[in-house]
Amino acid sequence: MSPSPSWRQLRKITVTQLFLPKRLEETKSLRMKKVKELMSFVSESCERGEAVDIARASFVTSLNIVLNALFSIDFASHDSKESHDYHDIVTCYAQVSGKPNIANFFPFLGFLDLQGTRKEIKAVIDRLFRVFQGIIDDRSRERLSQTKPKDVSTIDLLDYLLDQGTNVKVMKHLFLDLFAAGTDTNSVTVEWAMAELLPKPKKMVKVQEEIRQVIGENRVVQESDVTSLPYLQAVVKETMRLHPPAPFLLPHKAESDVKIFDFFVPKNAQVLVNVWAIGRDPNVWDNLMEFEPERFLGREIDVKGTDFELTPFGAGRRICPGMPLALKTVPLLLASLLHSFDWKLQNGVVPEDLDMDEAFGSILHKANPLCAVPVKKPLVSTISPDI
């Protein structure tokens, strides 16, 4: 469906204010600060011998990275109840919005809300809208009391939208999209990568040795290091092949009747692109159910929308505008976790028993969260070979 002028304008604003290379460079120190906070939390868990919920820990970092860009505030800390609440909200939003709905097949029944989907999603959205409204109100009062213009370097997306006179309802819907799309997608990718690596010690050793050789012992991982870590990049690609964060991307709508190969798609039909199935297509991938980052080494295939066998962010005009931020955040988080610590499964769980079931929804969560115990890295790796 042709996008409306307002959609085009909002997309342009998010790209220019959040995702352009210049803007990402300006916010690099913020991302490094949030990763440092994550590593402090993991270090404290290591000292106590406690397991880390990988998805929740990564979510808090992603949440604060994204929402600092929107509002210049932290939403949660790693040991706060609020962090769990926000994670549960986004997880619920993904599950409900991805739930099969009978009204999609029989639109005339939509007003009945037979499955309670509309009621569930409204409760989640209303809760987030109240949070956003409070932030908008606070910022508006703050701006009224200012005696001099705000420094350009401190202007965030909310300031920009208020300067443009953007409707508050439009702002809240935009923030909802950015909140949902820019936080949980990153954290589930980190979780799936860790879940794939933990049962495969040889691959874990390989990526850790690469990271530790490039980074060394006495400094932290930087975003600029990722280009020197080809195996880490391959791990991220292979994770996105097997576990794309948005398995059906976002819905599209046909603007006219069209025939694609032997399939007729009528005008106004909702179209879902099943990138989960594409990533497991036996006509494209060898050993398709195996986690093999090596398949991407030496191959000119990327996730940026030009190689259609691997399009976790979509492609073309509707490609995810947040892709540049995701491709900085996910490798940085994963490399930081693997550089500073070795990891083991909690409570004596053996790799063969690690649950890899998926939870259905608009975002591909693990059915059961991955909890792993960080261990201070030894001078010489003691991880055993593949079983």
Give tens-digit pLDDT for 342-385: 999 988 788 778 999 998 788 999 999 999 999 987 654 434 44
User: 246: which 2 tokens?
Assistant: 């948005």
The residue type found at 124 is V
Distance CA 194, CA 57 (A): 13
Q: Identify the pLDDT of residue 379.
A: 52
131: containing domain: 5-376
Pairing of strands 358-359, 371-376: unpaired
Which helix (DSSP H) or strand (DSSP E) does residue 206 occupy? Answer: helix 201-215
pLDDT of residue 387: 37
381 found inside a domain: no
Residue 65: which residues within 8 A CB-CB, separation 6 or more?
Answer: 30, 31, 34, 325, 329
**Helix/strand/coil for 318:** helix
Domain count, the chain: 1
User: What pLDDT, on the 0 to 100 scale, is given for residue 2?
Assistant: 57
The confidence score (pLDDT) of residue 386 equals 45
CA distances (Å), origin 335, targets 119, 228, 234: 40, 12, 12
Low pLDDT (below 50) residues in the chain = 1, 380-387
Q: Is-contact 357 366, C-beta < 8 A?
A: yes
State the Cα–Cα distance between residues 340 and 335, nearest whole angstrom: 9
Query: Could you tell me how far CA 192 lies from the centroid of its own chain?
Result: 11
CA distance 219 to 232: 18
Residues 121-141 pLDDT 10s: 888 899 999 999 999 999 999
The residues that bridge with 358 in the sheet, in sequence order, are 366
Residue 180: which CATH number? 1.10.630.10
Does residue 384 lie within any of the structural domains?
A: no
Work out the angle at residue 243's Cα, subtended by the Cα atoms of residues 242 and 246, and round it to the nearest 5 degrees: 135
The pLDDT value given to residue 383: 41
Contact status, residue 311 vs residue 305, Cβ threshold 8 Å: yes
- Whether 276 is in a domain gets the answer yes
Q: Per the domain annotation, does 385 fall within a domain? A: no
